Amino acid sequence: MAFHTYILRCADGSYYVGHTDDLERRIVEHQAGTLGGYTAQRRPVTLLWAQSFQTRDDAFAAERQLKGWSRAKKEAMMTRDWELISILARGGKVGAQPPGPSTSSG
């Protein structure tokens, strides 16, 4: 049996991260609003990304990790921009300028 971690885009533009053992059924439940919770008032939802795992523990661990990531880092992961993920993981900011030369005397 496979387990899945997934990211949905909600109607308000926010992201929802979850895990399940039946991805197709879970998306239908989110779309119908039968699960309640975060996505019920933010329909429709769109599946943006999913990954399969061999164990529920692995899928849950991936969910917890992704929930701790910034929006920018999630987007970089979904577009497979590994360089940007590396920058963001080190605390870098998207579009940040590198420090210029010092203007202090000394």
Which pLDDT tens digit goes with each residue over 29-64? 999 999 999 999 999 999 999 999 999 999 999 999
Section 8-13 average pLDDT: 98
d(CA 15, CA 17): 7
Domains and CATH numbers, the chain: 3-89 (3.40.1440.10)
Residue 101 pLDDT level (bands cut at 50, 70, 90): low
The 8-class DSSP code of residue 97 comes to P
What is the predicted pLDDT for the residue at 82? 94
Predicted TM-score (pTM) of the model is: 0.84
Tokens 């053992």, located at residue? 21
Residue 102 pLDDT level (bands cut at 50, 70, 90): very low
d(CA 106, CA 62): 48
Q: E strands of 1-106, at which residues?
A: 3-9, 15-20, 46-53
